[in-house]
Amino acid sequence: MKTSDSDPPAVKRNPFVHELHFTTAEKVKIGLMSVTIFPVRLLLVSFLMLLAWPFAFTATLGRSDFIVEPQSWWRRIVHLCIWVIMRAMWFCGGFHRIKVKGNPAPPSEAPILAAAPHSSYFDAIPVTQMMCSIVGKQESRSVPVWGTLISYIRPVFVVRSDQDSRRKTVEEIKRRAKSEGEWPQIMIFPEGTCTNRTSLILFKAGAFIPGLPVQPVVLRYLNKLDTITWTWQGPGAFKILWLTLCQPHNSVEIEYLPVYHPSEKEKENPTLFANNVRTLMAQALKVPLTDISFEDQGIIVSQGPLGIQDCRSLLHFNQLVFRLGLRARSTDKLLEQASRATKLCGDRLGLEDFAEFLNLPVTDTLKQVHNLFDQLGDGQIDIRHYIIALSTVQRPSKSMETLKLAFQMYENEDSGEIQEDDLAVILEIMLGVKDVELSGLFLALERPDTRKITYVELRRLIEDHSQFSLDCIHFKDHPRNGCVGQLKSCNGTSHDKEK
């Protein structure tokens, strides 16, 4: 796959990875806190959450999901009790002082609060401070205790099994936002996932589609040791809870920026609205922007023996196919396309034929996708290259399934083998690299003269080498240049697990 001038630059720091490094003093402190303060805090936090449950349960009895009942005196008392209990829970968890900057706007002025960066389940602190609604999974409603507390703040529930869920969620947000303060404010984390707060990733447009004023809310966790961040690659949920409760004090700051009133152009273009708010929030946080979205996280944190080595071209491709709506298509659709590609036997397609293959009109975005695979510059592409790339970005954690799909498109029907050149192209696309050279791989098979391989043989080799892409093949800018060819590292130690 060709590179492009518009390819995203290399990610300076992966926003979906969090690594913790402890000094000796910090390890000692955590050890002491683990056997003294941690059990007490955990007990108190659990008790207070359970204490809030009957209040929340009482307040939700007989309540409608579609209208807001009058705020009677007893509901106001219940609301105050839950707020006090939640604040006490955070205090017992070490959040002794929650610093607030700026002024929260009333629901009538800003029905939607856009909060960022989203980095942890501790981001529930501003939600409980404001007692505002959120957007959450329908399944969370059935979680004991927590589900009742979530239901109390009247969330917009997303039903993931419903294919029309996104449209319904947006419509419900718009309905509530246009109620002129009748419904509680909705706090939305427009990044759509947790990051490590080193940058702001692309915002989803949901909070900005209504075209109504939005109040940006920025979150800062100020402890030197970051035990808060809970993202895709790093400490798990319980470890984060344990480490955070072992800190003497957890410092958090919530800043309410001035309400952002969209222009007429922004009302018509939610993406522009979202990007402008994101820029404003990044300036307040003093962090950079990155053109990475939630949909890109699987590509960036790809691991395993066939983990993506350079994600830039695949990120660019992923952004293009997302604009075309191709990421939303099912795996069955991908397999059907692969079957059609196999029947073409390597015939190359021009732009019009490519559009017909995908059942899409010819657009500038489609032209850009087609150009990525026009290796010879003659306006023709091998559709198999596109399908391998699409499978890679759709299923970055299932690289072996993509490899098997590629073999099915390329293999000889009788022997099940594919040629060395074809395998090199497959690996170049899957790894995001250039100039793959497979001498070391065929040496490992002890058949350097055959230059053909079956899927079973390659799978066995991959299973035997946890760093297959680094140990068994060579490519441009390989991190082990000069050490490839004998499946050995620079010190001559074999990586074969059987030795």
Nearest CA to 432 among 5, 7, 6? 7
In contact, 443 and 427? CB cutoff 8 Å: no
Q: pLDDT tier at 464 (50, 70, 90 boundaries)?
A: confident
Is the pLDDT assigned to residue 288 strictly greater than 90?
A: yes
**d(C-alpha 225, C-alpha 125), whole Å:** 19
Q: What is the mean pLDDT of residues 324-348?
A: 82
Q: Which two tokens stand for residue 429?
A: 């696309």
pLDDT, the chain, mean: 87
In this structure, the strands spanning 214-221 and 252-256 are antiparallel
pLDDT of residue 499: 35
pLDDT band with cut points at 50, 70 and 90 for residue 491:
very low
Q: Which of the four pLDDT bands, split at 50, 70 and 90, describes residue 497? A: very low
Name residue 191's amino acid.
E
Q: Which amino acid is at 130?
A: M
Band of residue 12 on the pLDDT scale cut at 50, 70, 90? low
User: Are 474 and 440 in contact, with CB atoms under 8 Å apart?
Assistant: yes
Quote the CA–CA distance of 188 and 429 in Å, as a whole number.
36
Q: Which of 268, 278, 314 is nearest to 295 (CA)?
A: 314
The answer on pLDDT for 396 being more than 50 is: yes
Return the axis-axis angle of helices 237-245 and 24-35, rounded to nearest 10°.
Answer: 90
For residues 384 and 372, the answer to whether their CB atoms sit within 8 Å is no
Domain boundaries, the chain: 24-295, 301-433
Rg (CA), the chain: 27
How do residues 123-177 score in pLDDT, each as one tens digit?
A: 999 999 999 999 888 877 888 888 899 989 999 888 766 667 778 888 888 888 8
pLDDT for 236: 94
What's the Cα-to-Cα distance from 227 to each of 30, 37, 241, 243, rounded to whole Å? Answer: 11, 16, 8, 6
Q: How far apart are the first and last CA of the chain?
A: 37
**Residue 184 contacts residue 129 (beta carbons within 8 Å):** no
Q: Return d(Cα 73, Cα 360) in angstroms, integer.
A: 58
Condensed to tens digits (0 to 9), the pLDDT of residues 35-73 reads: 999 999 999 999 999 999 999 999 888 787 777 777 788
Q: What are phi and psi of 64, to 5 degrees?
A: -85, 150
Say which range, 86-95, 158-167, 398-407, has the weakest mean pLDDT.
Answer: 158-167
Residue 315 to residue 384: CA distance in whole angstroms: 19
pLDDT, tens digit (0-9, with 9 covering 90-100), for 210-240: 999 999 999 999 999 999 999 999 999 999 9
What does DSSP assign to residue 121?
Answer: G
Question: Is a pLDDT exceeding 50 seen at residue 394?
Answer: yes
If we measure between CA atoms, which residue out of 303, 296, 328, 338 comes closest to residue 426? 338
Would you call 46 helix, strand, or coil by DSSP?
helix
Q: Please choose, from the candidates 92, 85, 97, the residue with its C-alpha nearest in 3D space to the C-alpha of residue 37.
A: 92
Measured CA to CA, the distance from residue 301 to residue 193 in angstroms comes to 14
pLDDT at res. 161? 64
Q: How far is CA 249 from CA 37, 47, 85, 252, in A?
A: 12, 20, 19, 10
Range 250-269 average pLDDT: 96
pLDDT at 262: 96
For the chain, give the percent of residues with pLDDT over 70: 92
Contact residues for 209 (Cβ-Cβ < 8 A; gap 6+): 170, 173, 174, 270
CATH number of 24-295: 3.40.1130
Predicted local confidence at residue 38, as pLDDT = 97
Q: Which pTM does this prediction carry?
A: 0.83
Average pLDDT estimate for 83-110: 95
> What is the pLDDT at residue 487?
43
Three-class secondary structure of residue 110 per DSSP: coil
Residue 11 pLDDT > 80:
no
Rounded Cα distance, 230 and 242, in Å: 12
Cα 24 to Cα 29: distance, rounded to the nearest angstrom: 9
Average pLDDT (327-333) is 70
Chain centroid, CA 120 distance in Å = 13
